[in-house]
Amino acid sequence: MLLVLLLLPMCWAVEVKRPRGVSLTNHHFYDESKPFTCLDGSASVPFDQVNDDYCDCKDGSDEPGTAACPNGSFHCTNTGYKPLYISSRWVNDGVCDCCDGTDEYNSGIVCENTCKEKGRKERETLQQMAEVTREGFRLKKILIEDWKRAREEKQKKLTELQAGKKSLEDQVELLRTLKEEAEKPEKEAKDQHRKLWEEQLAASKAQREQELATSAFQELDDDMDGAVSVAELQTHPELDTDGDGALSEGEAQTLLGGDTQTDAASFSDRIWAAIRDKYRSEVLPTDLPSPSAPALTEPKEEQPLGPSQPAEEEDEEEEETEEEEGGEEGEDEDSQETPPPVVPPQTVSPTEEDKMPPYDEQTQAFINAAQEARNKFEEAERSLKDVEESIRNLEQEISFDFGPNGEFAYLYSQCYELTTNEYVYRLCPFKLVSQKPKLGGSPTSLGTWGSWAGPDHDKFSAMKYEQGTGCWQGPNRSTTVRLLCGKETVVTSTTEPSRCEYLMELMTPAACPEPPPEPPASGNRDEL
């Protein structure tokens, strides 16, 4: 708009006599020798009714210089500045609207003629703007060239990557097969090993139970007659079953399976299992703290990558988890039964007992081979993912709408900040806008990239960022970024015209329009 004004022809050096409020371009419609015809042709009135402060024409054209018509226009010449049309209702209303003061000729107030001063300022501004635009546009052309090149390079890279991707995929498939083949013998050997170990465990557990039963029997058999009687059982009130704190004869008899006594064999076969949980040994103090649960550990496989492996290695993880869970279940069963009624004579330390013996050499060899195959496969798969990611990124960037000539592309991977009294605002074009309190605190999202949001004829003059952090009792925050022509790329202001709807201004050479050709050096520069 401003630039267009610069180009206005400077053609009215001579004052032409015309009715008040009529522009030069319209003056020929106002010929005092003829009746005046309203500009819309709706009526014709004697010429002395022009500007007689009474509205005759529907379009207000008979009263350009008075406030008589509600819809008339008053033209100020504003010599030295820009001519202007104002609503004729503002004529003589006591407010100076024209810089030449011609709109207030009969309201009692005196308007200073400020056109010269305004013109001077305006010219300065326009010159500055023109200078900025010229420089900005020069930079813009460079940006366009840069992007053209960068885009070509990226396109080339993309083609390369796409080609490389195919062979990488083949390789991944091959390595997958190799891995699966190596895992078969590994699994068999490991299963065999585990099975053996579990059988051993079961046997030793049974033996332990037998020993416990025998020792309990001996303790109970006070009269050493080789049988435990009801009375003998009653010396252990903790075996009470009805919760009254004492073991009655009936209860004891029930515990003994209805008999009055039992011998060692049937005690261990039938009765021990029923009472072992409650039974307290007479030998040891009853309030002995329960021994801490033994840590069930498995022999560590050799793991070249160490414990902190990337999460992608799912196969490995799953396998490990399964094994761990198995171990834990056993442990849980034990620990649930607290307090342990009898602490058996501790012949073997539980840790040693429960620890799976190391794999034999053959099994370990299988494991190592399988692990190597896994590693190779995973490495290849990672490379493939990396390539796919790069392809996606490149495709996105290349196809992104960076403006008519890609002039905005250079903003793609940048971020710009503006610090105000309270906040630091951060704009990462095509990605997001955020706001962070200056005195610390976490950032609030003011929106992520939505779309170009300028008016239809000038789509690239604004960007819209949407779906930011929700406002309390309000909408999600959003930001409109207005793009202004400037030599540098800088965020110049951030405001919040409506609550949670932000407006940011970004100066960038990419927004500079093509400047008009340099005006000829000569000519009257007074008029704008």
Partner 1 sequence: MDAAEKISVEDEAVDKKIFKDCSKIAFYRRQKQRLSKKSTYRALLDSVTEGKESTRFQIINEAAKVPLLAEVYGIEGNIFRLKINEEAPLKPRYEVPDVLTSKPSTVRLISCSGDTGSLVLANGKGDLKCHITANPFKIDLVSEEEVVMSINSLGQLYFEQLQIPPKQSRATKENEEDTSDDTTQENQEELGLWEEKFRNFVDVKDNGPASIGLDFSLHGFEHVYGIPQHAESHQLKNTSDGDAYRLYNLDVYGYKIHDKMGIYGSVPYLLAHKLGRTLGIFWLNASETLVEINTEPAVKYALTQMGPVAAKEKGRSQTDVHWMSESGIIDVFLLTGPTPSDVFKQYSYLTGTQAMPPLFSLGYHQCRWNYKDEHDVKAVDAGFDEHDIPYDVMWLDIEHTEGKRYFTWDKKRFPNPKRMQELLRSKKRKLVVISDPHIKIDPDYLVYAKAKEQGFFVRNHEGGDFEGVCWPGLSSYLDFTSPKVREWYSSLFAFSVYQGSTDILYIWNDMNEPSVFRGPELTMQKNAIHHGNWEHRELHNIYGFYQQMATAEGLIQRSKGKERPFVLTRSFFAGSQKYGAVWTGDNTAEWSYLKISIPMLLTLSVTGISFCGADVGGFIGNPEAELLVRWYQAGAYQPFFRGHATKNTKRREPWLFGEEHTRLIQEAIRERYALLPYWYSLFYSAHVASQPVMRPLWVEFPDELETFSVEDEYMLGSALLVHPVTEPKATVVDVFLPGSSEVWYDSKTFAHWEGACTVKIPVALDTIPVFQRGGSVVPIKTTIGRSTGCMTDSPYGLWVALSTKGSAVGEFYLDDGHSFQYLHQKQFLHRKFSFTSGVLINSCADKRGHYPSKCVVEQILVLGLKKHPSSVTSHSPGLNHPVDPGYSGPGVVSS
- The residues pairing with 151 across neighbouring beta strands, listed in sequence order, are none
The minimum distance between CB 498 and partner 1, in angstroms, equals: 4
What distance in Å separates the CA atoms of residue 337 and residue 327, rounded to the nearest whole number?
17
Site for partner 1 in 488-527 (CB under 8 A): 496-501
Dihedrals φ, ψ of 234, to 5°?
-65, -15
Count CA within 13 A, CB hemisphere, residue 57: 27
The minimum distance between CB 95 and partner 1, in angstroms, equals: 5
DSSP letter for each residue of 101-130: -TT-SSSS------HHHHHHHHHHHHHHHH
The minimum distance between CB 93 and partner 1, in angstroms, equals: 4
The minimum distance between CB 481 and partner 1, in angstroms, equals: 18
Which of 54, 195, 246, 360 contacts partner 1 by CB under 8 A?
A: 54
Helix (H) or strand (E) holding 260: none
Number of residues lying near partner 1 (CB under 8 A): 28
Contacts 24+ apart (CB under 8 A), 217-220: 217/264, 217/267, 217/268, 217/272, 219/281, 219/282, 219/283
Tokens standing for 363?
A: 């099994």
Site for partner 1 in 428-467 (CB under 8 A): 444
Site for partner 1 in 62-81 (CB under 8 A): 67-68, 70
Q: Per rule CB under 8 A, is residue 38 in the interface with partner 1? A: no
- Tokens 């927004």 found at: 511
Q: Per rule CB under 8 A, is residue 474 in the interface with partner 1? A: yes
Kindly give the pairing relationship between strand 490-498 and strand 501-508: antiparallel
Point out which span in 84-92, 186-194, 372-380, 445-453 binds partner 1 (CB under 8 A): 84-92
The minimum distance between CB 24 and partner 1, in angstroms, equals: 24
Which of 2, 95, 202, 283 contacts partner 1 by CB under 8 A?
A: 95
Q: Per rule CB under 8 A, is residue 82 in the interface with partner 1? A: no
The minimum distance between CB 441 and partner 1, in angstroms, equals: 10
Q: At what angle do helices 115-220 and 361-399 cross, to 10 degrees?
A: 160
Q: Per rule CB under 8 A, is residue 92 in the interface with partner 1? A: yes
The minimum distance between CB 52 and partner 1, in angstroms, equals: 7
Q: Are 330 and 198 in contact (CB under 8 A)?
A: no
Strands (E), 15-62: 36-37, 44-45
- Tokens 């009765």 found at: 271
Residue closer to partner 1, measured from CB, 34 or 499: 499
Q: Per rule CB under 8 A, is residue 105 in the interface with partner 1? A: no
SS (H, E, C) 145-179: HHHHHHHHHHHHHHHHHHHHHHHHHHHHHHHHHHH
Q: Per rule CB under 8 A, is residue 476 in the interface with partner 1? A: no
Residue closer to partner 1, measured from CB, 444 or 448: 444
The minimum distance between CB 438 and partner 1, in angstroms, equals: 13
Tokens standing for 274?
A: 């029923």
Q: Per rule CB under 8 A, is residue 107 in the interface with partner 1? A: yes
The residues that touch partner 1, with contacts defined as CB under 8 A, are 52-54, 67-68, 70, 87, 89-90, 92-96, 107, 421-422, 444, 471-474, 496-501
